Structure 1
Amino acid sequence: MVESNARPVAIVTGGSRGIGAAIARRLAGDGWDLVLTYRTDRDAADRIATECRAVGADAVAVAADLGGASDDAVEAPFAAARERFGRLDALVNNASTTTRYAPLADTPPDEIRTTIDLDYTAVVLGARLAVREFTSQERLGVIVNISSGAATIGSPGEYAHYAGAKAAVDAFTMGLGKEVGPLGIRVVAVAPGLVDTDLHASTGDPDRAARMAADIPLRRTAEAGEIADAVAWLLSDEAAYVTATTLRVAGGR
């Protein structure tokens, strides 16, 4: 392990695009050094790491297929944080997927398993390692889990299994937050609503966000940077008394 950094260090899973990339940019500007995970698109992850370095942060991209939730994949970013920075102050469990918008009966079992493995199982395994890392360093730390507004509305006909996984994230956030609060570790979640990212195009419905904006009380989708703002606040000293809860950032929906 290298000598410990003076700057705080965060792992951001799924940091190569969308909300994860926005979180990385925001934290880099706030003075954090970063470990960013990606599954396949190394070029995209390297671009975000380069953007972070351009504002004075140190950032490294680490390949980790968290959807398989293998021990090696989950451990990879923690090993990188120890080796490069000698410390860890936060984990942002952002990596997420949903493969298509369809009724459950029309969704193949392998896609259901992939979604639940990444959206819930990997969150639990990553949080477990973060708690172990914080306690081994005798360091106060924060875990931010990215949930979804779908957790409370169910998303029938689109991805009920994804909504169920995110509801599990909310329950896990509350339970773990209460468990590790006495250690000085905070566990919180952010539940975004409809966010304007490339997720919609990747699931075959590129116009979904614009079409659904009329159903949102604020009459617009969120920008990824607005979710990053919420994450940055929860990681800050201003939120030092906030734990075991989920902050909904969904425009009133």
Structure 2
Amino acid sequence: MAHTNSNQYKVVIVTGASRGIGAATAKLLGSQGYGVCVNYHKQLEAAEQVVTDIKLAGGQAIAIQADVSKEADVVRLFAETTQQLGTVTHLVNNVGVLFTQSKLVDLSIERFNTVMTTNVTSCFLCCREAIKTMQAGCAIVNVSSAASRSGAPNEYVDYAASKGAMDSLTKGLSLEVAADGIRVNAVRPGCIYTDMHADGGEPNRVDRLSSQIPLQRGGTPEEVAEAIAWLLSDAASYVTGSFIDLAGGR
């Protein structure tokens, strides 16, 4: 049964929510009274576990498969979420991919385009669909990266470039929709304990870099989720076009 939106009822899509920062964010928002769409691409069981966790804690959630780098999938994702939970009022663009550490000179065009499409095109498409129905009081948070500031030399220049593009998209869109009362912000996590480092070929990367971080440790997905939840909330009602760095001082 579809819900009608009241001021109290909030519906959020969290992309790439089957693991890491996305899963932590989905669970936190579920505990705060949002109806949560846990979007996933391939990890059905992991996504269903996140939904189960939210429901066991008294929240409301569904899992919807969609490759958010594809326009038709994004349109369907929003349609199904609206049908099952109600009009989407909040969005967290969390989907991201990186590949094995490499210098730019060794990157293939296929890898570069995959990173840009997965990280930037997905953000653009989801923002576009969300804005079509969002009203004053609605909000978007994009999950960028501290790599957009550092450039990630010798490791992930393609990933860093994609996050730089997300930063620009965040700023530009925030100014386009500010007069409508819709807020758009971003978080820029640094070294966070997630599975993504294994994708880059170094599962223990955070431990290796901890001594270089002023706070002397890596961050947790839950710490990032808290910042995302605040930016989405009415407590951040005067914040738009802003970036919160969650990088332990780096």
Give TM-score scaled by structure 2 length. 0.96
The partner residue of 1:237 within 228, 234, 238 is 234
The reply to whether residue 208 of structure 1 matches residue 210 of structure 2 is no
Q: Secondary structure at the match of 1:145?
A: strand
- Aligned AA (1:70): K
Q: Secondary structure at the match of 1:14?
A: coil
1:203: Cα distance to partner? 2.2
Which position in structure 1 is the counterpart of 2:109?
109
1:2: Cα distance to partner? 2.6
1:115: Cα distance to partner? 0.8
After superposition, give the CA deviation of every residue in 1:92-131 in whole Å (9 maximum; x if it has no partner). Answer: 0001000111112222221211111111111011101110
After superposition, give the CA deviation of every residue in 1:65-110 in whole Å (9 maximum; x if it has no partner). Answer: 12xx221111232112210122211010001000111112222221
- Residues 54, 128 of structure 1: CA spacing in aligned structure 2 closer, same or farther, 3 A cutoff? same
Q: How does 1:78-97 map to 2 (within 5 A)?
A: 78-97=78-97
Cα distance in structure 2, aligned partners of 1:206 and 1:251: 19
Cα distance in structure 1, aligned partners of 2:148 and 2:204: 22
Which position in structure 1 is the counterpart of 2:159?
162
Q: Secondary structure at the match of 1:51?
A: helix
Cα distance in structure 2, aligned partners of 1:23 and 1:81: 17
Task: Give yes or no for contact 2:2–2:82 (8 Å, CA) kept in 1.
Answer: yes
Cα distance in structure 2, aligned partners of 1:99 and 1:44: 21
Cα distance in structure 1, aligned partners of 2:244 and 2:200: 26
1:139: Cα distance to partner? 5.0
Cα distance in structure 1, aligned partners of 2:2 and 2:34: 17
- Aligned AA (1:186): R
Cα distance in structure 2, aligned partners of 1:48 and 1:5: 24
The reply to whether residue 49 of structure 1 matches residue 61 of structure 2 is no
Task: Give yes or no for contact 1:5–1:85 (8 Å, CA) kept in 2.
Answer: no
- Aligned AA (2:32): D
The reply to whether residue 252 of structure 1 matches residue 249 of structure 2 is yes
1:5: Cα distance to partner? 4.7
Unmatched 5+ stretches in structure 1: none
Q: How does 1:135-150 map to 2 (within 5 A)?
A: 138=135, 140-150=137-147
| Percent identical | 40
The partner residue of 1:190 within 187, 192, 195 is 187
Task: Give yes or no for contact 1:218–1:251 (8 Å, CA) kept in 2.
Answer: yes
Cα distance in structure 1, aligned partners of 2:229 and 2:121: 24
Task: Give yes or no for contact 1:36–1:77 (8 Å, CA) kept in 2.
Answer: no
Which position in structure 2 is the counterpart of 1:24?
26
Which position in structure 2 is the counterpart of 1:130?
130
After superposition, give the CA deviation of every residue in 1:141-188 in whole Å (9 maximum; x if it has no partner). Answer: 101000000000100110111101101111111111011000110000
Cα distance in structure 2, aligned partners of 1:239 and 1:170: 19
Unmatched 5+ stretches in structure 2: none
How many residue pairs match? The answer is 248
Task: Give yes or no for contact 1:65–1:73 (8 Å, CA) kept in 2.
Answer: yes
Which position in structure 1 is the counterpart of 2:37?
35
- Aligned AA (1:160): V
Task: Give yes or no for contact 1:150–1:193 (8 Å, CA) kept in 2.
Answer: yes
- Aligned AA (2:96): S
1:197: Cα distance to partner? 0.7
Q: Secondary structure at the match of 1:177?
A: helix
The reply to whether residue 70 of structure 1 matches residue 67 of structure 2 is no
Cα distance in structure 2, aligned partners of 1:210 and 1:3: 45
1:249: Cα distance to partner? 1.0
